[in-house]
Amino acid sequence: MKTGNVESALTRFETRIGSSMLSDVVRGLIGVIRGDNNVVYFQMLSHDFKQLELQRLKSEVMKRPGKIRRYSMLMLGCFIVMYLTVMMLQIVENMGRLF
């Protein structure tokens, strides 16, 4: 930014980092500097970044199915125990009324 030309500074920054996602952001910023209306472009870019993050998280989850399955089964067991406990307490409490 010391050169005074914002577009060339952004372009140099883009080439220095070398990220495709950053390249998309820099292209949008250069368009804004030139006076273009890039509202829709940034909305689409935001949507694409969210989709990439979801794909990354899904691939990370698929790497560890054993841990997740174990905790899921533990939670299922806790829910079943809670449900059966409430049901048994109600049955025992109402046995006097039945007989």
Q: Are residues 55 and 71 in the same domain?
A: no
**Total number of domains constituting the chain:** 2
The predicted-structure confidence for 9-66, as pLDDT tens digits, reads as follows 888 888 888 888 888 899 898 898 888 888 999 999 999 999 999 999 988 878 877 7
Give the pLDDT confidence score for residue 3 in this predicted structure.
61
Tokens encoding 4 = 């005074």
21 neighbors 49 (Cβ within 8 angstroms):
yes
How far apart, in whole angstroms, are the C-alpha atoms of residue 81 and residue 96? 24
13 and 57 within one domain: yes
Q: Quick one: 56 and 87 in the same domain?
A: no
- 17 and 48 share a domain? yes
- Co-location of 31 and 52 in the same domain: yes
Examine the domain organization and report whether 46 and 6 are in the same domain: yes
Residues 45 and 1 in one domain: yes
Q: Are residues 34 and 55 in the same domain?
A: yes
